[in-house]
Amino acid sequence: MTKRIGILTGGGDAPGLNAVIRAVVLTATRQYGWEVVGIVQGFDGLYAGLPTIPLYEENMRDLLARGGTILGAANRGNPFALRLTNPDGTESIADVSLDALERIRDYGLDALIVAGGDGTMAIARRLVGLGARIVGVPKTIDNDLGDTDVTFGFDTAVNTATEALDKLQTTAESHHRVMVLEVMGRHAGWIALVAGVSGGADAILIPEIPFDLDVVCQKIRSLQASGRHYSLIVVAEGAAPLNGEAVYYLKGEGGREGRLGGMGHQVGSILADCMGAEVRVTVLGHVQRGGQPTPRDRWLATRFGSAAVHLVAQERWGYMVALQGTQMVTVPLEQAVHTKMVDPLGDMVQMARDLGIVFG
Ligand code: F6P
């Protein structure tokens, strides 16, 4: 009997999601002769039973290079804690996970592939616990998902952030300015570290290493004394000072995490005071999530998507595909949902320090 599988893209989008969808569809149809349908708007669309999109080889054309996700994404919908608006306008939280399971049955799906970050994988794991037949594909620009060396979307975000540093450097040099670039990454400093080193930053502030701006001021002063009158400072959105806290521009509520952002400007104004130099701040924001995926992200997303279909064929419910070294492997979802942080004492940070980069 022909199998019918669904694919859903959960959480925020990331460049490479469309390449995953394409790889799933091509592998499932060509290798196994299965039908594939897309569930729109992540778990929100699943719970609401929104009409699915039939996916077949012909509508996969031109998808490799396209950013975003053709299925739409929602980083709110958690069927175990869904926010509902009551008739009187008040809000309540409801567990609608059993309804989500019923929708999977209503759609006639034999299995579901979910591409997402830690939040999506945590939901998938709980649904598998209730009997759902789900496998996972790791996605996030933050690269903070456990048990995979890298997630797709990360390379594109690093590319964007590095390009921004390259551009900031030329104008910083002309004006003898200190340029602060705030990048995304949530509670992990991967984007800041890799883009910072690749873009020649003088200081990189990451969540894993609480910072002291006096150290950054000293670094800038020593650069000035050596005749270099500009500097580049990269600040991860989740970075925090020693004895201080990260900055949120949107507070979390009702079990929903707040939105990080604003540390770049705080760092910028303190540096302006201590340096007496001109400081300018750039917040890169969602530019890092948009646009065409890099070839490396298209390649990784394609490997993940294809491997996920083989996992379905093997009925490995509750597992996620992952990259370890050069190998595609599978890991249990519960192992993947921990946050992968930069090791403050590891070789990558040490290498950056060896180059003279300070971490505050
Ligand atoms: O997890 C990806 C990410 O882009 C984070 O780097 C960032 O903190 C967050 O999502 C932003 O979320 P939103 O799109 O809801 O503003």
Which amino acid, residue 128? V
pLDDT at 34: 98
Q: Give the distance (Å) from ligand 1 centre to CA of residue 2.
A: 38
Q: Does the annotation mark 202 as catalytic?
A: no
pLDDT at 17: 98
pLDDT at 28: 98
Q: If pLDDT is split at 50, 70 and 90, which confidence band does 84 have?
A: confident
| pLDDT tens readout for residues 301-323 | 999 999 999 999 999 999 999 99
Q: Among the atoms of ligand 1, which is closest to the Cα of residue 75?
A: 15
In angstroms, what CA-CA distances link 188 with 124, 179, 223?
Answer: 22, 22, 28
May I ask the CATH class of domain 4-152+293-336?
alpha beta
pLDDT at 82: 87
The one catalytic residue in 13, 44, 118, 142 is 142
The arithmetic mean of pLDDT across residues 81-93, rounded, is 87
Q: Where are the alpha helices (DSSP H) in the chain?
A: 17-27, 42-48, 97-106, 118-129, 154-175, 190-198, 213-225, 263-275, 295-313, 333-336, 347-354
What mean pLDDT, rounded, does the chain reach?
Answer: 95
pLDDT at 85: 85
Domains 4-152+293-336 and 157-290 share a fold: yes
Q: If pLDDT is split at 50, 70 and 90, which confidence band does 276 have?
A: confident
Q: If pLDDT is split at 50, 70 and 90, which confidence band does 148 have?
A: very high
8 A C-beta contact, residue 128 and residue 104: no
Residue 76 pLDDT exceeds 80: no
The arithmetic mean of pLDDT across residues 171-197, rounded, is 97
Query: Closest residue (by CA) to atom 13 of ligand 1?
Result: 12
Q: Which CATH number fits domain 157-290: 3.40.50.460, 1.10.1200.10, 3.30.930.10, 3.40.30.10?
A: 3.40.50.460
pLDDT at 332: 96
Q: What is the Rg, in whole angstroms, of the alpha carbon atoms belonging to the chain?
A: 22
pLDDT at 254: 67
Domain boundaries, the chain: 4-152+293-336, 157-290
Q: Give the distance (Å) from ligand 1 centre to CA of residue 106.
A: 32
Q: Which residue has the higher pLDDT, 55 or 335?
A: 55
pTM of the shown model:
0.96
Match 């948009």 to its residue by tokens.
290
Give the Cα-Cα-Cα angle 116, 120, 125 (nearest 5 degrees).
120
Beta bridge mates, 342: none
